[in-house]
Amino acid sequence: MAQPNDLIAVLIDADNVSPSRIGAVLTEITQFCTASVKRVYGDWTKPQLGSWKAAASEHVIQPMQQFANTVGKNATDSALIIDAMDLLSMGRFQAFCIVSSDSDLKSESAMASRI
């Protein structure tokens, strides 16, 4: 059972995860801790993320705008990782849940953890 002081930050890559899965993910998380920060990252000006808007509202997830300013670079991954490092430095969370199916994120996260 989740304890009120067991806090987790949930950071979601909207570019690489279907919104149809987020309900099950959040249900699983609540069995272990309290998701006190829930953010979903993407370029909300793109029509592909339209289905995420309803899911974010339904599950009270804060949309984080990240414009794709450079072709071929994944600005969303970088924004998510930077936010994770900022939240980590607060010392407030017992865990982080990064929701993504992007293999690039794994290598970028490993590099960030070495900094």
Give the CATH number of the domain where residue 78 resides.
3.40.50.80
Residue at 80 is within a domain = yes
pLDDT of 110 higher than 70: no
Report residue 100's pLDDT band, with 50, 70 and 90 as the boundaries. Answer: confident
Q: Taking all residues of the chain, what is their mean pLDDT, rounded to a whole number?
A: 83
Q: Compute the average pLDDT of residues 33-60.
A: 93
pLDDT value at position 107?
Answer: 46
pLDDT at residue 72 tops 70: no
How far is residue 19's CA from residue 16's CA, in Å, rounded to a whole number?
Answer: 10
Task: Find, among 112, 64, 58, the residue nearest to 88 by Cα.
Answer: 112
Could you tell me the pLDDT band of residue 18, with boundaries at 50, 70 and 90?
Answer: very high
| pTM of the entire predicted model | 0.81
Residue 34 in domain = yes
Does some domain include residue 77?
yes
Q: Nearest Cα to 108, choosing from 11, 40, 9?
A: 11
- What is the distance of C-alpha 61 from the center of its chain? 9
Please count the structural domains in the chain: 1
The domain in which residue 22 lies consists of 7-114
Q: Is residue 1 in a domain?
A: no
Q: Could you tell me if residue 9 is left (phi over 0), alpha (psi between -120 and 50 degrees) or otherwise beta?
A: beta
Provide the H-helix boundaries in 1-115. Answer: 22-30, 50-58, 75-90, 103-114
67 within a domain of the structure (yes/no): yes
